[in-house]
Amino acid sequence: MNNTGRIVLSEMLSPGTINLRLDGKQRDEVLAELVGQIREIATQPQARQTLLNALQEREQLHSTGIGDGVALPHARNALVGLVDHPILVFGRHETGIPYGAIDGAPAKLFFLLIAPTVTQHLSMLARISRILRDPKVRKSLLAADTSEKVIGTVRDAESKM
């Protein structure tokens, strides 16, 4: 979030929240890898498990695979007390994994969203969904070979919103 309180996705990403080499073979393994990127709960096994359980429960309700090789894992409810600010984690899987997306395409691009409030949660979901509609953005994210290129791609896409 910037100092006006607006969600700015590119400012939420850092090299530590980006994994360009996810290697899980199935959804739950990839979710665990993404959760492992969150330094705020890295030393709290119980918090990591709580988040992972919430993400798995959300996926059982309805897949967060939105098609075009993209998944937006998030918990249905704001995780009050788990984090005190919105967190965004990006992961990429070389070959993709089955994710139950409406188009049946395997997910290769993952944005894990966590927010302490429903308003922030919905704002993050709306912004990320909007920038990922652009096939050029998805293509750039698939091609990015550094964390900085991922952040730059998101920043450029946001500047056009």
Question: What positions carry a catalytic annotation?
Answer: 74
CB 30 within 8 A of CB 110: yes
Query: Distance of CA 9 to CAs 18, 34, 81, Å?
Result: 13, 17, 21
Q: How many residues does the chain have?
A: 161
* Burial grade of 39 (CB within 10 A; 0-12, 13-18, 19 or more): exposed
Angle (nearest 5°) at CA 101 between 154 and 33: 60
- The contacts of residue 108 (CB under 8 Å, 6+ apart) are 69, 70, 92, 93, 94, 95, 96, 142
